[in-house]
Amino acid sequence: MSEFAFPKIKADFKRRMEGAVEMLHKEFAGLRSGRATTSLLEPIHVEAYGSPTPINQVGNIGVPEPRMLSVQVWDKSLVSAVEKAIRDSDLGLNPQTEGQTIRIPVPALTEERRAEYAKIAGKYAEEARIAVRNVRRHGMDDLKKAEKDGDINKDEHHDFGAEIQELTDLYVGQIDESLGHKEEEIMQV
């Protein structure tokens, strides 16, 4: 690793940290906030054609009413598998089948359920923070190795380490901010 390689390495760390934040946003999208959104069903996988398949690859997901979701299943033979996957998803949803359309009423959240979802959101955020810190740890290890190998000097090690820490603080801050918004959204009655 030479002085000129650090910008490339830093860009890789940034990409990996952004990936952790994006994954958190996807996980948050699957947490209910009392409103019907298509993203609520996106984490669900259906046993289709011998393998787990994302629900949006076996049918169209729609929001016909504020507290109602619908899935128009393309293959008639998969309707019961889609219904089972929704029922088994731990989202507290009870699908109702009408031909190839599955209607899913989204019940209002109880205070207890809201607190449970807020706790799950916190767990997701902590996993994202850990992912970002792991990227930082790998970066710091790379810097130690580069200094030991004589590719960078002590001052460069210190400066590059400070840049990696800055990135870490930035992305952990984004995670905390996202968690705050999600908790607010979940607790809103």
Q: Split the chain (189 residues) into runs of 10 and give each run's mean pLDDT.
A: 69 94 87 74 87 91 88 93 88 87 86 85 94 95 90 90 95 96 85
Domain-wise residue ranges, the chain: 3-29+110-187, 38-105
pLDDT tens-digit series, residues 1-27: 444 478 888 899 999 999 999 999 988
Q: Tell me which residue has tokens 């076996």.
A: 58
Distance between start and end Cα atoms, the chain: 53
SS3 of 124-151: HHHHHHHHHHHHHHHHHHHHHHHHHCCC
**Would you tell me which CATH number, out of the four given (1.10.132.20, 3.40.50.920, 3.20.20.10, 2.60.40.420), belongs to the domain 3-29+110-187?**
1.10.132.20
Question: Quick one: pLDDT at residue 33?
Answer: 66
What is the rounded CA–CA span in Å between residue 101 and residue 19?
35
Question: Quick one: pLDDT at residue 2?
Answer: 47
Question: Quick one: pLDDT at residue 1?
Answer: 42
Residue 121 CA: distances (Å) to CA of 37, 117, 177: 17, 6, 12
Q: Which fold has domain 38-105?
A: Gyrase A; domain 2 (3.30.1360)
Question: Quick one: pLDDT at residue 103?
Answer: 94
Question: Quick one: pLDDT at residue 60?
Answer: 93
**The model scores a pTM over 0.85:** no
